[in-house]
Amino acid sequence: GDAILYQHIFWFMGHPEVYVLVLPAMGIVSEILPRMARRPIYGYKAIAVSSIMITLMSFFVWAHHMFTVGLGITAAVPFMIATMAVAIPSGIKVFNWTVSLYNSRIWLRTPMLYVLGFLAFFIIGGITGVFFPVVPVDIHFQDTYFVLGHFHYVVNAIFMAIAAAVFYYFPYMTGKMYNETLGRLSAILYTIGGAITYTLMLSLGYLGMPRRYYQPPPLPGMEELHSLATAGSMILAVGTVLIYIALLHGLIRGKPVKNRDDPWGAARIGQPDFYPVSHTDGAGLIHYNPHPWMSLVGAFSALPLVGVMFILKWGDWAVGALSLAIFTAMCIAWAYSEYFTRYRHLNGASRGLLDLRPWSFRLGALGHDPILAVALIIFSEIFLFGTLIASYFYYWYKAPTWPPPGTPHLDTLVPLINTVILLSSGVTMHIGYNYLRRGDVESFRSLATVTLILGSIFLSGQVVEYIRSGMPPMLNVFSATFYSLTSTHGLHVIMGLIAISLLIARSYNGTLPNNERGYGVAEAVTIYWHFVDLIWVVLVTILYLVPFGLPSLSA
């Protein structure tokens, strides 16, 4: 292994992760702020575009966490510039939110207090964040409480946006109003407690308090500032408890709201919260297809990872198998409720109807575009495989000889046969999809079945190849990256085979043809399958053809 590479990979995940947290919070604020300020949001397009800019830029700034590792100035400066540039889209948002408040009629209910808290905390968290990309300043602030103060200001802002959303949507979900007095009190305590605690963290960091120490160094004022910060966190704790009491009180004894579809009267000011899809059947009834599985699969998507970790790290097959089984059962329940129940005759529009009951709280109308979904999957997969492939080249670049001495010579016969098989399965899938488009479900089913068989042969060939190579995964960095890459790819083949099986099953129960959605799903699976093929061609080249045929990179 390599500690620096590990840091790179960690922060390549870790930095965008921060935006995974903050972007939904920004979305919440952009929704609630204008409705509580009783006027439309200023610069909607600028806010939307800046979100996309933040998402893209977040992938190219990770090394700002590693300036003290010793990257060298050539590597540090581009990351310094890129990181400072992220402040621009964030600044655009803050500007638009602030201008939206100007000359408006601010309604100081609990959600708005939390939104205003978000603004204040996010501005301070953002400005203290711009200190770090400046390399010489960062060398001083690295691993001090200043980082903690900055980070907590941002995360506190995120939490306040979530609290705003919970209070704002509470009457929609329950039909009752939360306790306003307790709600406002919680927001005030949350603001005061957070401001005290995190401002003192910034001060402590500025004075030189290092992170991850259990005792402050014996410097004047340290002890006192720490005690005050702890007192601040107590106020924060009381505020947090009050949130739950205010909601619980509302749930049990809250006043029923007059209009549950629009409890805040947002439609009156021309900003209804949702645009329900008015899709009715012949009898004028609105159809719902409520099932919680999509949300539950999302919420429990960490289960398979945890399961695999239990198996690999502690050899605990029981817990591992149980986690995987629970998650698989949830996925099956989702697929069943979505395609094989009495709701299956509904088309996409009516499936996407808004359902505001707490267990199925989701806005489905936007979530049913399979092509968009597969494009997003492929976008994230490019980063996953890109990270693994980049790690492979990192080791290759650093190694004096590649593959390292002692690596068995890998024969190319089985992998090349496997390549032909996998590429042929791409052809059969594509032709099958074209048949489906022309309405020929039978031919699609036959060709998808051939694809399924070819894919399974590929997987068996992969297992044969693992055994034939006689190379244990723990041998050296080559074998480790070899198995990481090929098994990750194999997992994607398995997921593709599951998706194809689902298509075949749906071709029997009649939910595949006769509507645009059926083609869309088949098209999405076909695109995904081509992507799996493409990745394999890259892997065969870098794992078999180049290292055993060409001289080492560093030679």
Residues that bind Cu ion (CB under 5 A): 15
* CB of 198 closer than 8 Å to CB of 230: no
- Residue 208 to residue 53: CA distance in whole angstroms: 35
Residue 57 CB, nearest approach to Cu ion (Å): 11
Residue 24 CB, nearest approach to Cu ion (Å): 18
Residue 67 CB, nearest approach to Cu ion (Å): 11
- Closer Cβ to Cu ion, 21 or 502, answer by number: 21
Residue 87 CB, nearest approach to Cu ion (Å): 12
Residue 251 CB, nearest approach to Cu ion (Å): 38
- Closer Cβ to Cu ion, 67 or 529, answer by number: 67
Residue 65 CB, nearest approach to Cu ion (Å): 5
Residue 96 CB, nearest approach to Cu ion (Å): 23
- Closer Cβ to Cu ion, 132 or 482, answer by number: 132
* CB of 412 closer than 8 Å to CB of 545: yes
With residues binned 3-state (H G I as helix, E B as strand, rest as coil), the percentages for the chain, rounded to 5, are 75, 0, 25
- Closer Cβ to Cu ion, 10 or 300, answer by number: 10
Residue 330 CB, nearest approach to Cu ion (Å): 33
Q: How many CB atoms lie within 10 A of CB 65?
A: 21
DSSP 253-289: HPPBPS-TT-TT-TTTTT--S------B-TTSPBP--
- Residue 466 to residue 142: CA distance in whole angstroms: 44
DSSP 363-375: --TTS--HHHHHH
- Closer Cβ to Cu ion, 60 or 519, answer by number: 60
- Closer Cβ to Cu ion, 15 or 506, answer by number: 15
Exposed/middle/buried for residue 409 (C-beta within 10 Å: 0-12, 13-18, 19+): exposed
Residue 152 CB, nearest approach to Cu ion (Å): 15
Q: Is 484 left (phi over 0), alpha (psi -120 to 50) or beta?
A: alpha
- Residue 431 to residue 436: CA distance in whole angstroms: 9
At CB < 8 A and 24+ separation, what contacts does 266-270 make? 266/35, 269/35, 269/38, 269/39, 270/40
Contacts of residue 119, defined as CB under 8 A and 6 or more positions apart, other chains included, come to 29, 94, 97, 98, 157
Residue 149 CB, nearest approach to Cu ion (Å): 15
- Closer Cβ to Cu ion, 18 or 331, answer by number: 18
- Closer Cβ to Cu ion, 82 or 247, answer by number: 82
Contacts of residue 398, defined as CB under 8 A and 6 or more positions apart, other chains included, come to 2, 554
Residue 80 CB, nearest approach to Cu ion (Å): 12
H/E segment holding residue 483: helix 477-509
**CA angle, corner 438, sides to 436 and 440, nearest 5?**
55
Place of tokens 């079945």: 449
- Closer Cβ to Cu ion, 93 or 351, answer by number: 93
Residue 76 CB, nearest approach to Cu ion (Å): 14
- Closer Cβ to Cu ion, 15 or 109, answer by number: 15
DSSP 213-249: -SS--S-TTHHHHHHHHHHHHHHHHHHHHHHHHHHHH
Exposed/middle/buried for residue 380 (C-beta within 10 Å: 0-12, 13-18, 19+): exposed
- Closer Cβ to Cu ion, 130 or 457, answer by number: 130
Exposed/middle/buried for residue 280 (C-beta within 10 Å: 0-12, 13-18, 19+): exposed
CA end-to-end span of the chain, whole Å?
21
- Closer Cβ to Cu ion, 15 or 176, answer by number: 15
Residue nearest to Cu ion (CB): 15
Residue 50 CB, nearest approach to Cu ion (Å): 18
* CB of 149 closer than 8 Å to CB of 132: no
- Residue 432 to residue 443: CA distance in whole angstroms: 7
- Residue 45 to residue 47: CA distance in whole angstroms: 5
- Closer Cβ to Cu ion, 66 or 524, answer by number: 66
- Closer Cβ to Cu ion, 15 or 445, answer by number: 15
Residue 83 CB, nearest approach to Cu ion (Å): 7
